[in-house]
Structure 1
Amino acid sequence: MRILVVGAGAIGGYFGARLLEAGRDVTFLVRERRAERLRQCGLKVKSPEGDLTFACPPMTLAKDLTHPFDLILLSCKAYDLQNAIDSFAPAVGPDTVILPLLNGMAHLDALDARFGAANVLGGQCVIAATLDAEGEIVHLNNMHSMTVGERAGGRSARIEAVAAQLDGAGFELNVSEDILQSMWDKWVFLATLATGTCLMRAPIGDILDAPGGEDVLRRLFMECQGVAADNDHPPPEAVIERARASFGQRGSLLTASMLRDLENGAPIEADHIVGDLIARRRSKVEGASMLEVAYAHLKAYEARRTRTARA
């Protein structure tokens, strides 16, 4: 199976490197600047699960795509989605399977509109990784899992074939028979974590130590749960209990990657992770919406960032 990994950044680069190490037929679709960096320095991964180095990783530019791939692994940031779609479109044939690992749901709408829902799987990943100043991928802890599934539910010959390629590649692979529920469960957790830590500019432990901080997290989590329920995907009790444990852990240094991006003055996924969640709300929120307050905070950051860039 020919696999095209869109990008060689923190997420795509990490999982692509693991697949490459396992002997899979992987090609990275990169921009010219990243391609030049990889030619000079190679693809390097620093990880508690084992470092990897590929002096000459297989890669291609969008202009050089001439034939369809069997599987396209997509893990870009949401604000880069349209550019990514345009770049890999020539690699999509009638039998190509697209596996997006983005958070939220809006990317499914965009991919369906361009390539058809039948070509797009559901997927998600759990990993903390970043690019350092040298362009090397740094895996920050031991978590590195991927969950995939047919959006219609159940198991199919297609998902089994995809899983066979992804399994045994040095990271945890799960095949979900209800991938949309899995994606909603992560979205609820991530939206709570992102809005809470960005709004308070602090990790979970510091928020819990602040007067009223625990209530802020509780209200955010309840609102996010409510949106999931509005869309027929309420988190099961086991998921709720795990999330409550995470959001109630004193001394926790847990933050969202969105906070790290915000503190570094980088683009953030405010609309995709928070704005789209609010747009899907159907039930009325009693009192002030903490989710809307947090979203306004994120949009104010984006407005200031845009104004500063233009100055």
Structure 2
Amino acid sequence: MKFLVVGAGALGGYFGGRLLAAGQDVTFLVRARRAAQLNERGLRISSPKGDLVLPAPPHLLSEQIAQHYDVIIVGCKAYDLDATMASFAAAVGPDTAILPVLNGMGHLERLAARFGQQRVLGGLCLISATLDEQGDVQHLNDAHALVFGELDAATSPRAAAIAEAMAGANFDARLSAGIRQEMWEKWIFITSLAGATCLLRGSVGDIVAAGQARVPLALLDECGAIAASHGFPPRQPATERAHTMLTAAGSPITASMLKDLQRGSAIEADHIVGDMLARARQLAAPTLQLAYAHLKTYEAQRARQAALNAG
């Protein structure tokens, strides 16, 4: 089975590197700068689950794609999805399965519109990882799960084959018979975490210490109601787990969106918070509306500053 991993960043580098180390046929699709790093240092992973050094990981640039792949793993930011789809389009064949691990649900529709519904799997990952200044992958916690499955079926021969290929890799690969449900539950949590930590500019522990745990819990309730209106009410274990994580005293957890915001970087405001709000239909979601307004104001300020700098 031939895997094309789009990008060799924190997510692609970690899961693709683990697959490659397990003997799978893996190629990384990268940009020129990342290709130079891989040529110089190889792919290096520092992890509580075991460090890994791959001196010469197979990689190529978009214009060098010369064959179709069985599985394409996509883990870009949602605002980069159009450019990313264009970059790997030549690798998509009649039987290619595309496995995205983006947050939210809107990317599924965009991938299906470009490549056909039958090629798109559902997927999510549970990991905290980043690239350091040298381009090495730093895995920051014990979680390293990749969950995937057919969007409209419990299973399939291709999904089973992917699960078998991933079984020997040093991460938790799981084939889900209800991937849409699991994706909604993660989206609910991510939106609640991002909305609260960005709106209040602090970690979960800071928010709790300020006596404002009602904010992430209000977001949790509003997002849960939206999911339920689309036929995916969050299950009790997922709700309890999210409630615990969003109210944990002293917790240093923040959303990656807050880190992007603090750096002055682009954020996935429309793709995570905005898309959830757009699916509210007639449901009241005042806290979600406020969180989205805050993020859009940041984006307006960022655009204004960019215009001033360009002038």
Q: For 1:294, which of 282, 291, 294 is the aligned residue?
A: 291
Unaligned runs of 5+ in 1: none
- TM-superposed CA distance for 1:307, in Å, is 2.2
Q: 3-state DSSP class of the match of 1:27?
A: strand
- Whether the 8 Å contact between 2:226 and 2:283 is mirrored in structure 1 is no
**Matched-pair contact (CA < 8 Å) for 1:45–1:51:** yes
Deviation at 1:153, TM superposition (A): 2.7
The answer to whether the 8 Å contact 2:18/2:171 transfers is yes
Following superposition, the deviation at residue 283 of structure 1 comes to 3.3
Q: Once the 2 structures are TM-superposed, how far is the Cα of residue 296 of structure 1 from its aligned partner?
A: 1.1
Match in the other structure for 1:150: 150
Aligned ranges 1:251-270 → 2 under 5 Å: 251-270=250-269
Amino acid at match of 2:223: C
Q: Which residue of 2 aligns with 1:217?
A: 216
Contact 2:127/2:143, CA 8 A, preserved across alignment: yes
Instruction: Please give the root-mean-square deviation of Cα atoms over the aligned residues, in Å.
Output: 1.1
Cα offset for 1:195?
A: 0.6
Aligned equivalents of 2:223, 2:123: Cα separation in 1: 20
Percent of matched pairs sharing the same residue: 52
Counterpart amino acid of residue 214 in structure 1: A
SS of the residue corresponding to residue 123 of structure 2 reads strand
Task: Show the counterpart of 1:52.
Answer: 52
For residues 7 and 217 of structure 1, the distance between their equivalents in structure 2, rounded to whole angstroms, comes to 32
Describe the SS at the equivalent of 2:250: coil
After TM superposition, list the pairs within 5 Å mapping 1:1-311 onto structure 2. Answer: 1-211=1-211, 213-285=212-284, 289-310=286-307, 311=309
In 1, Cα distance between equivalents of 2:207 and 2:55: 43
**Matched letter for residue 160 of structure 2:** E
Question: Are 1:153 and 1:179, in contact at CA under 8 Å, matched by a contact in 2?
Answer: no
Report if the CA contact (8 A) 1:226-1:283 is conserved.
no
Q: What TM-score does the superposition give when structure 1 sets the normalisation length?
A: 0.97
Contact 1:230/1:283 (<8 A) preserved: no
- 2:213 match: secondary structure: helix
CA distance in 2, matches of 1:4, 1:58: 10
Q: Report how far residue 76 of structure 1 moved.
A: 0.6
TM-score for both structures, normalised by structure 2: 0.97
